A and B are shown apart, each in its own frame.
Chain A
Amino acid sequence: MMTYIVFILSVIFVVSFVGFSSKPSPIYGGLVLIVSGGVGCGIIMNFGGSFLGLMVFLIYLGGMLVVFGYTTAMATEQYPEVWVSNTTVMGVFLLGLLMEVMLVLYVLKSEEVGVVFKFSSVGHWAIYDTGDSGVFSEEIMGVAALYSYGAWVVIVTGWSLLVGVLVILEVTRGD
């Protein structure tokens, strides 16, 4: 099972995406996002990106999703929609599950999957392993490089975040 762990995790990833794309109430969407965030972290860690997985848990799940959960809890309705409460939601969820099952069978049956681009096995992606040149991990060196050579990226992303907050405040303020 450990040799196919990335495949299994990616299937769970897609299923949880189907889970929140079928639009239950945001609270349940947040629940499924936690699952998908954790599973995504597992996929990245299997390629050697331990730092990036930690970032997903800390920042995405522990920061952004917590704030999202609190705001949704303030704005939620009395009987939020679950996957089984509404026929439409359940139908879309089952349709997504069905498509994922068919895709998994296609992958397991044939050597190579060529939907938008050719994908033959997980080993095919091994060239995108987060590097480890033996002395230091390239991941964390990337963060260090962000603050030295990539100072322009820091300025642009910092400015985008500030303007994002300004825009949201402006849009929700009304008249």
Chain B
Amino acid sequence: MNPLIFTTILMTVLLGTMIVMMSSHWLMIWIGFEMNLLAIIPILMKKYNPRTMEASTKYFLTQATASMLLMMAIIINLMHSGQWTITKVFNPTASIIMTSALAMKLGLTPFHFWVPEVTQGISLTSGLILLTWQKLAPMSILYQISPSINLNILLTMAVLSILVGGWGGLNQTQLRKIMAYSSIAHMGWMTAVLVYSPTLTMLNMLIYIMMTLTMFMLFIQSSSTTTLSLSHTWNKTPLTTTLILITLLSMGGLPPLSGFMPKWMIIQELTKNSSIILPTLMAIMALLNLYFYMRLTYSTSLTMFPSTNNMKMKWQFETKQITLLPPLIVMSSLLLPLTPMLSILD
């Protein structure tokens, strides 16, 4: 792609999300979502083959449907309240439709079917943008309407997402699909605590973005898209095997790594609100996620996966320069001792 056009389109993706996050008028928010969707299609289709075209079409169709539902909810809200500001959704019907539309945009169950297929069809960098940047806009709207969200619907979607994210990722060997299911599960954790404490949703989003960025960049560095090619990293850059191990365990939510912090805070907040069965179920279902992360670490870092002999003697020409990888790795694994700093958020 022409570099000037590519820069323009990338800046439009950023502008779209910024408009969504900074507007107080519902129409501008909708325009921001549409601008974001329109501009990310050529980024998803950077390589021109039938897989990317199919993935971009699926993404476009689901997100356009979600935008239409959002517009309907906005109009119902306008009909019942007579104003366009985003502070409070005045009608339960509008609130439910809006929650469903934003759940479709995020990839929560039962609207999660597009996430693995779209993430699998596109390149690793595009998948990175899809799973991190594109989650910011819908989550910011959910944060802003969180007082008026129907708790039953949101909690059902959250718990089902954690379940689907865990179970769906079990039989996968393609790394992009694994990251997609991990994204579904993390979105479930984030929306589960949204009504109780939106600050923790934002904390989880921040740490999830850091960990996903780190994982994707480690994959990009070794250009690996399957478990098999990831298991050859011990030959290419032996240090990244350890880093993959640490980051994957952090994503699984194990202390003393930083991925434990959001899970711990969320479970604490939920139990403070006298729901005990729900966080127990959520914690048990997070074990499914941990299982397939552990399987990745087993084949990558902990054992030398079986390979042919010429795979064991690779030439190393030039290591890819990945921007900001060391700080990201540090932040996605060592932030747990900073948990007491969360008190500044109150």
Which residues of A are interface residues toward B (Cβ below 8 A)? 116-117, 152-153, 156-157, 159-160, 163-164, 166-167, 170-171, 174-175
Contacts and interface: CB of A to CB of B under 8 A. Distances in A.
A170 B15 CA distance: 19
B9 interface: yes
Interface stretch (B33-41, B102-110, B182-190, B296-304): B33-41
Given A116-B93, A117-B76, A167-B39, A159 B12 contact: yes
A152 to B, nearest CB: 8
A171 B31 contact: no
A163 B31 contact: no
B4 to A, nearest CB: 10
B294 interface: no
Interface residues of B, number: 24
Classify the interface of chain B: helix, strand, loop or mixed: helix
A156 B48 CA distance: 29
Contacts, number: 48
Contacts of B79: 117
Contacts of A153: 28, 31
Interface string B68-100: 000000001001100000000001010000000
B28 A156 contact: yes
Interface in B27-76: 28, 31-32, 34-35, 38-39, 41-42, 45, 48, 56, 76
A159 B1 contact: no
B41 A157 contact: no
Contacts of B42: 167, 170-171
B5 interface: yes
A164 B257 CA distance: 43
B145 interface: no
A127 B12 CA distance: 37
Nearest to A170: B42
A160 B31 contact: yes
